Structure 1
Amino acid sequence: MNKQTVGTALLFGFCLGSCLQFPLRKYYYVNQLVTWPKAQQFCREHYTDLATFESLDDIKRLQPNISYSWAWIGLWDDPNAWQTAMGNKSNSWRWSATRETSKTGYRLWGTGDPNFKNSGEMCVSMANAGYWYDANCEMKREFICYKVTELNVKQHVFIATPATWSDAQSYCRTHHTDLAMIENEAENSAVKQLIPVGVDVWIGLYRVPWSWSDKSPSLFRRWVSPEPDNYGGIQNCVCENTAHMWGDEKCSATKVFICEQVVKTSTTVKMTMTSDVDLTDPAVNAQVLQQLGALLTNQGWTDFKVKWKIVSKKNKEN
């Protein structure tokens, strides 16, 4: 027999529906000249973090402040995640076939690479000597695809038609498995043997640069032309000017900065459920909340808590 229960889900940490227009962050200028790491430390100690911006609405909530020319914000491109190791952060190198960071950490960069030259090198090519180099993804190069045989062995294929990295990826996914994924010296040697002398080829390594200090997934950007340019190869942090436009800068420079305070919010969602199980059972309640939490997490929500309250029959009738 189906049972109908009126429940109230109390969600703490974010708003749903119309509450999405509620400002989730408040911003504070700090008129101290410090480096980007020092600004990050100060904001985390006194507020929530360095400022994250997810939309123009966030920008509009900044109060006018003309006491600075440039101020640090929370966007940066941590070089420890991509330059010195095969890291596991959002701006680290990933393989096209898995969209995940390296399982083994294997890499064979050429001298001076990766260097993110002019802030435009986000894909990886390989020379016939076997070394890797980061390069602009819009360049046209020959490429290496791979497929896995029935014996679970990688088989690499050289494609002699020049293409951009994304076009090469599409071709490999259509005709093979994907662009080459290289996780050890043996695989690197196998690919190296296929590359003609003097030719550079695309392999499946790429990355998405820039991430927020508070780990927000926001892709909102307001670069002022011609930024970002990674001048000198050391501009890994981001500041904004009085027009709220952004530029990259070396993290050791000293500037004032903007902190954010995340506003904790809550909302109540009332729902009527019809089920053949007893929704007043604590075990059932726990399972429902677990599944709801997983659903919200998959939709990108973070830092929330969910509580469940069953409305009594008397209150329902009232």
Structure 2
Amino acid sequence: MEKVLLFICTASALCVVSSLPARQYHFVYDPKNWTEAQSYCRDMFTDLATIDNMEDVETLNNMADLDSYKYRAWIGLYNNVSSWSWSMSDSGFYKDNETQLRNWAYNQPDNFQGRECCVVMVANGEWSDVPCSLPFPSVCADVKGQEVTFTYVTEEMTFPEAQSYCRANHTDLACIRNMAENQKIHKLIPAGQSTWIGLFRDCWKWVDGSNSSFTYWNTDEPGGADQYCAAAYFAASGKWADWTCEWKRASICYSAPVLKQVVRVKLKRSSFLDLDDAAVQEDLLKQLKQKLKNQGVKTSIKLSWRTQNDGKIFHNDKEQDKF
């Protein structure tokens, strides 16, 4: 299909719909478990609520009317307890199923108080989940092809600090593919010492994929090993608490407001394409969308043609003069 040169002018012919970054919140007072609430929000709106800042918190506090449900409502924050992965993500380093090796100590991982998202090797060579903010020595790895050597680092650091140190001075934190490597690392560690290895998981995250780092936990929250879903607690100014996901709660959904704009598009064509052909119109929309992206439009954009009063979409310049 031949391309048509496009020029965007003001007036009316093309309908442009772009999503704004702001959110509109919606309280749903019919009690649901977290999974049911998520499905309902995605069906009726955009998703369970993401909360970015104190302005959002104040908005929700002013909207809440939750006397019947003990002031609690699900939000889109959850603890991804099954997302264990290794710090070194290069798939070429691992053979089949080697990323799945686990050597947990008895009753581990237990996600104690809902805050344990990183892993140490304990005194007997087994593994335990602990809070990432605790200070421990670490074991770094130097990788050359399939060969790996391990280095014990005595300085106590948090998990993010240890990970950064190993990546700056070696290859990465130690990622263990088999029990032979586990034994090599165990021999490096002083008796009775717990030490960082490179296993960790996503802790609390937003279900819509938002990377917002804002938190507003209530005192001593999160605090439950089996409480993987978060609710806003409006008896405490909307602060968050973790709860068992199967409990029935009210919920908060959000939707993104939509801005509609109408602009006129002037086309200069190099051949006699049939502009009434649906395939030609679809190709033009693709070109226009790419032009808008190239001009720095970053929001989600939906384009559609607007039919004029005479039932047509396009008119040549001479026809247009008659309107």
Give TM-score, length-normalised by structure 1.
0.69
Closer, same or farther in 2 for the Cα pair 1:58/1:12, shift >3 Å?
farther
1:6-155 aligned at under 5 Å gives the runs 6-7=7-8, 12=17, 14-15=19-20, 20=21, 23-30=22-29, 32-62=30-60, 63-67=63-67, 68-78=69-79, 81-82=80-81, 85=82, 92-98=83-89, 104-149=99-144, 151-155=145-149
Using the TM superposition, give the Cα deviation of residue 285 of structure 1 relative to its aligned residue in structure 2, in angstroms: 7.5
Closer, same or farther in 2 for the Cα pair 1:252/1:288, shift >3 Å?
same
Counterpart in the other structure of 1:238: 230
1:57-105: per-residue Cα shift (whole Å, max 9, x none)? Answer: 4334432415243323233435xx43xx4xxxxxx233333499x9732
Counterpart in the other structure of 2:252: 259
- The match for 1:223 among 217, 226, 232 is 217
1:260-279 aligned at under 5 Å gives the runs 260-263=253-256, 265-266=258-259
Using the TM superposition, give the Cα deviation of residue 177 of structure 1 relative to its aligned residue in structure 2, in angstroms: 1.3
Using the TM superposition, give the Cα deviation of residue 291 of structure 1 relative to its aligned residue in structure 2, in angstroms: 9.0
Matching residue's letter, 1:247: A
Closer, same or farther in 2 for the Cα pair 1:11/1:222, shift >3 Å?
farther
- How much is the aligned-residue C-alpha RMSD, in angstroms? 4.3
> Take 2:285 and 2:259, find their aligned partners in 1: how far apart are those partners?
20
Matching residue's letter, 1:29: V
> Take 1:25 and 1:237, find their aligned partners in 2: how far apart are those partners?
22
Closer, same or farther in 2 for the Cα pair 1:186/1:195, shift >3 Å?
same
- Over the matched positions of the two proteins, sequence identity in percent amounts to 27
> Take 1:136 and 1:291, find their aligned partners in 2: how far apart are those partners?
47
Q: How many residues are matched? A: 284
Using the TM superposition, give the Cα deviation of residue 136 of structure 1 relative to its aligned residue in structure 2, in angstroms: 2.4
Give yes or no for contact 1:13–1:264 (8 Å, CA) kept in 2.
Answer: no
Runs of 4+ in structure 1 deviating by more than 4 angstroms, as ranges, are 8-11, 44-48, 267-270, 280-297, 311-315
Closer, same or farther in 2 for the Cα pair 1:56/1:140, shift >3 Å?
closer
Give yes or no for contact 2:77–2:229 (8 Å, CA) kept in 1.
Answer: yes
Asked whether 1:174 is paired with 2:174, we answer no
User: Could you list the runs of 5+ residues in structure 2 that have no partner in the other structure?
Assistant: 92-96, 264-272, 274-279, 306-313
1:59 match: secondary structure? helix
Counterpart in the other structure of 1:277: none
User: Could you list the runs of 5+ residues in structure 1 that have no partner in the other structure?
Assistant: 86-91, 271-279
